[in-house]
Amino acid sequence: MTSRTIIPMVVLALFVSWAPAQSATGAGTAAESTTPTFPYIGEITGQDVYVRSGAGTAYYFTTKLNAPTRVTVMGHKYRWAEILPPAGSFSWIYKNYVKLDSANPGIGIVTGDTVRVWAGSEGVAPANSSSMQAKLNTGDQVRLLETGGTGDYYKIEPPPAARLYVSLDYVKYIGPVPAIKPVLPPRPGTTAAEAKPTQPAEAKPATPGTTETKPQPKPAPAQAPATTAGPATKESTESTQPGEDETQVTGVAEATEPKPPVRETSKERQLVEKCREIEKQITTELAKPLEQQDYSTLREQLQAIAADPAAGNAKAYAEYYLSRIEAYELVRTVNERIQQSEQELAAIRQKVEADLEAKLKQIPNRGRYLIRGRIRPSNIYTAKTGQKRYIVLDETGRIVAYAVPANPIVDLSVKGVLDKVVGLVGKVVSDPKNPITLIEFTEVEAITDDNSPTASVRAAAPSAPSSAER
């Protein structure tokens, strides 16, 4: 009776002790197989692992990573880890939608809406980059990674919304991204009472039986630079533990304290300001008449800035203003050439008229005729073009003058003497659009003797007639 009772009790005790152990083991396996909480820290497990612009091998790669590089995984897409762009990553944005910020060298301001940003790769030209990472709107800022850009694009830091992809076969789960509460130094000008809310709450011991996790050791100093607004004060450091922690917090605050005076006096900043002053001088020169504009000194100053190795972003400003000066000087050069051509044409016209008058004076017994020659209708100057004219030819067939009747009655008298040698009575008038002499005649008479002297006509001939007037 006793043995029968003991055996079942032993079996029951073994079963009870085995069941909880099995349940605990099963729970651990389930926890390991569940999807991790995002974001989390992942570690690269291979060498030359491609980081791609999209979730698939069809997307171009942007860079390569080696073990044990760690990445921040924001999500999973198929069998790919969606990660924040690692160090060295960059993006492309079209230049036409970015305006350089003269007050902040290296910063660009977006000037359009839904401007696309493309994943950058050293092996893919900007114009061929096809993986869009984000869309930016007017007023958004981008940080330039190089001066001048590449072709029609600027190389910029990836915007906050940018993501890249790594195969999950080469990513090992390390743990969740630690929740960090940085110790914020008080803003400049605040009092100690106003600075107290920025102090972290004192750590309380975990209640027994709870699942509260331990705070991560010393995370705050590592993140302090991102939110530091000024030097640490006594109130901001009293909440830290004395010893090593306090030293680290103070050291980080001092190392990340902004130093505006250094930035204001930097060579790059000075050159940017000089470019802005030159722009004002360019505007002043542009307001002057074309013949008084002189950009030579300003051009030399801008060329010196562009050639300075320490110019930084000032080089882009200098090159832009140099292109403007080049355009203004081209306009001035064209205007000078036009004026020179007009002066040369006026001089030629005066010389032709003077030569004609001189030759006419040399002819003895010129009589009452201003010019003699064969008269024909002009094929260019007709009633349809606005003013009817005739051409006067010498005995070789060259045009020596144009003739226009002084009134319609005189014009009627020309019909009976067309294609005959005639004498014209009238005066020489000016025609700014034509270098050939123009005669306004009041009388036209046929000369019956075709062998009458026409030396004055021959002497005045400046050129052969065009085929249209023959």
Residue corresponding to tokens 């029951």: 12
Residue corresponding to tokens 């790669």: 61
pLDDT at 210: 41
Which pLDDT band holds residue 183 (cuts at 50, 70, 90)? low
Options 2.40.50, 2.160.20, 3.40.50, 3.10.290; CATH of 364-460: 2.40.50
Dig out the tokens for 31 from the structure: 């926890």
Smallest Cα–Cα separation from 359: which of 449, 441, 465, 437?
A: 437
pLDDT at 231: 39
pLDDT at 434: 82
Higher pLDDT, 110 or 180: 110
On the question of pLDDT at 31 being above 70, the answer is no
* pLDDT, average across residues 422-439: 88
| pLDDT tens digits, 328-378 | 989 988 988 898 899 998 999 888 888 877 776 665 555 788 889 999 998
The pLDDT > 70 percentage for the chain reads 68
* 0.75 exceeded by pTM: no
- Encoded amino acid at 410, one letter: V
> Does the domain formed by 36-89+162-180 have CATH 2.30.30.40?
yes
Pairing of strands 107-110, 141-143: antiparallel
**CA atoms lying within 13 Å on the CB side of residue 51:** 26
| pLDDT tens digits, 239-253 | 334 444 443 434 433
Per DSSP, helices labelled H in 144-266 are 192-195, 220-227, 234-238, 244-255, 260-264
| pLDDT tens digits, 76-109 | 999 999 999 999 999 999 999 999 888 888 899 9
Domains of the chain, residue spans: 36-89+162-180, 90-156, 262-334, 364-460
Pairing of strands 98-100, 164-167: unpaired
